[in-house]
Structure 1
Amino acid sequence: MEHVAIIVTDMDETIQYYSDMFGFKVRLRGSSKTREMAFLYLEEQPSVEIELIRDINPISDYNKSGIVNHLAFTVKDINEAINYYKKKGIKFLSPEPQPTLEGGRMILFYGPSDELLQLVERVKL
């Protein structure tokens, strides 16, 4: 995967959120007359980025669920991750992690622009 694009409502707030919560850094940020954009990356995985887009004057409403359903982050221990992110103010959509198809566990929550995010603990082999 190269990148995932997310429509955001507040660029500064969103960059701060992804930096504070997950350790993302800004690779590139700029704007035109119609759009503000930023590309975020993780030092451990620089080839995969999150593209943030804020349309200055949107030409239409965006679909709430969007075409991209969610953005997932792998964690080593989901219970540890849940406790960590709860302390940072994240409210999860379920009280407990749910099973994944492959036998791991996952939990969902919303980011600052209501983008759907997921933590995934893979099956330990």
Structure 2
Amino acid sequence: MIKKVEHVAIIVTDMEKAISYYSNMFGFTLRTRRQNNSREMAFLKLDQQPGFEIELIRDLVLQDEYFERGIVNHLAFTVDNIEDAVHFYNEKGISFNSETYNIANDGTKTIFFYGPNRELLQLVEREKL
């Protein structure tokens, strides 16, 4: 059911500094950047490894549970069809953190769940262009 590792999300305190660091140090380029009421997000891609991204997250509303240092927020997996994947993993005993998936402004569908050690995991269906 899982196609590949989709992205890793990293909590940052300075978005400009983080984008610059990953771009200048490792050659990532900015794919998209967006903001909602609680978070600013930037997705960085690496031409040598298409399909894997780093998601940088800067909370506009601070979260109590984050450590003082940078933190990896979640691990995401690409799926072809999120409805089929949710059904498949429900049958295997996974309980998702919401009743249905979210749809981002670029059409990407996502849903979160916890792994066995309370690590945050995510399924992602990219919008088909």
- TM-score w.r.t. the length of structure 2 is 0.48
- TM-score w.r.t. the length of structure 1 is 0.50
